[in-house]
Amino acid sequence: MSTDGHLDQARDSLELLLQDKRLPPEARAELADDFRQVRAMLDKLEHGHIHIAVLGRVSVGKSSVLNALIGERRFSTSALHGETRHHEMALWDEQGSGSLFLIDTPGINEIDGDARERMAREVSQRSDLVLFVIDGDMTDSEYSALQGLAREHRPLLLVLNKCDRYTAAQRNELRTSLLARLEPVILPENLVEVSADPAPRVYIEVDADGRETESERLAPPDVTALKDRIWEILEAEGKTLAALNASLFAGDLSDKVGARVLAARRQLGEKVIRSYSLVKGVAVAINPVPIADLAAAVAVDISMVVHLSNVYGLPMTRSQSGTLIKTISGQLLLLMGATWLVHLVSSLLKAGSAGLSTVLTAGAQGAVAYYSTYVVGRAAEQYLAAGCSWGEGGPKWVIRNILDSIDRDSMLVQARQDILTRIGR
Ligand SMILES: Nc1nc2c(ncn2[C@@H]2O[C@H](COP(=O)(O)OP(=O)(O)O)[C@@H](O)[C@H]2O)c(=O)[nH]1
Ligand SMILES: [Mg+2]
């Protein structure tokens, strides 16, 4: 599928689900995040934007590097810890391209463990080019973050900043040892040395009388090597870079969104199934004469399946839903007919006695009805989740798995309690 196809599909699916007011709030919040990402990606594709992001430890000079590229103080910098709190973006209008954006990020060591990995991955997935900034030999956490990035298969430059602090000999030594350690992740042309915000130089002048005067002169930033390398990369693969990245990202994202949408539907489906099961259980408990109930009971199941089919965006008519229920009940009867009937008949036999036991048996029958509707609902849901298919194993296999996955006894106890509470006893 094309990049646009993936994203359009993800967007449509999300939009539909976001409109469903019955969706639990947590699920809605998660989906809203995905939605923003899809939208940002679509915008980016539409406008042919290219995103370049910095990553690295705090205070290595990430913000300074971006400022030096732009030639303006667009991102705030600080000698203190952690000036950059959130991702920030600025247009880099070099050579009137109008479509290059620089993205600043917090230090990778300001967030811990999993969150750090996640941020690094997210930043890299959204960007066409990542500048990993360091200011000396690499720490273990820098090293592992860089390895993680390399696994994403995105174009990656290693930027050694603060070169004004090193002598030429030190720089050479550093460069050699970094390359040796990072081979083959970083090739020599992708390790660039810069001084984004060099410390002022102190000059000492001695006049004719031997008096010394000290003066400070600002040193200009030097990021030429980086700029050149970025332009080389962009010129060589400019548009393809963005497109390749977008399709990698789109594939990932639509898989992720697909899984989220499914999980959200399951959550919603479970609510729907449980409420119909309770309706059915209560109806049977109030009126425990099975023959008279039969038609009404099937009607409840049919409504439930129609409702579920809407949750899954594959609307069914009542008659289609009736057919589906027949298939499921047929399998249920085959799989657990015997125990099922014994259970039901023994409940019915007790229905004659009055008083407390009537209440209990009513509850028991209701619970059985609850359970059967629940199983029907789960089976129908599985069928819908697979895009209206029973898969290779057929309905028998699916339904057996569902029966195995439910702890029947505890569900019956719980159902009976819920039913009795509902009918006020
Ligand atoms: N000596 C020197 N200091 C630098 C250089 N680049 C940045 N700095 C200083 O390093 C500190 C942290 O810079 P900043 O850009 O805020 O780092 P960030 O946390 O990675 O964004 C600031 O005080 C900068 O002035 C450089 O090339 N040389
Ligand atoms: Mg910063």
Chain segment 349-387, per-residue pLDDT in tens: 454 444 444 545 677 778 888 988 999 999 999 999 988
pLDDT at 361: 67
| Distance, CA of 193 to CA of 223 (rounded, Å) | 8
Query: How many domains would you assign to the chain?
Result: 2
CATH of the domain at 133: 3.40.50.300
What value does the mean pLDDT take over residues 217-237? 88
Nearest CA to ligand 1 atom 11: 79
Residues 144-188: tens digit of each pLDDT: 888 888 887 778 999 999 999 999 999 999 999 999 999 888 999
pLDDT at 278: 93
Residues 330 and 208 in one domain: no
| Distance, CA of 374 to CA of 408 (rounded, Å) | 11
* Strands 100-104, 191-193: pairing kind: unpaired
Residues 416 and 342 in one domain: yes
Measured CA distances, 121 to 65, 130, 146 (Å): 21, 11, 10
Provide the mean pLDDT of the chain: 81
Q: How many residues does the chain have?
A: 425
pLDDT at 425: 59
* Strands 129-134, 156-160: pairing kind: parallel
Burial class (CB in 10 A: 0-12, 13-18, 19+), 168: exposed
d(CA 135, ligand 2 centre) in Å: 13
* Strands 100-104, 88-91: pairing kind: antiparallel
| Distance, CA of 27 to CA of 42 (rounded, Å) | 23
pLDDT at 173: 96
Residues 249 and 286 in one domain: no
**CB of 78 shorter than 6 A to ligand 1:** yes
Kindly tell me if the per-residue pLDDT of 96 is higher than 70.
no
Residues 19 and 98 in one domain: yes
| Single residue among 256, 278, 294 that ends a domain in this structure | 256
Domain that holds residue 314: 262-422
pLDDT at 84: 56
Contacts of 334 (CB under 8 A, 6+ apart): 396
pLDDT at 195: 97
pLDDT at 288: 60
Reduce the DSSP state of residue 416 to 3 states and report it. helix
**CB of 60 shorter than 6 A to ligand 1:** yes
What value does the mean pLDDT take over residues 75-97? 69
| Distance, CA of 228 to CA of 1 (rounded, Å) | 35
Residues 109 and 244 in one domain: yes
Residues 170 and 89 in one domain: yes
| Distance, CA of 214 to CA of 204 (rounded, Å) | 5
| Single residue among 256, 288, 322 that ends a domain in this structure | 256
Question: For the chain, first and last CA: distance in Å?
Answer: 58
- Residue among 64, 75, 135 whose CB has most ligand 1 atoms within 8 A, to mutate: 64
Contact 419, 282 (CB under 8 A): yes
pLDDT at 291: 45
**CB of 106 shorter than 6 A to ligand 1:** no
d(CA 76, ligand 1 centre) in Å: 10
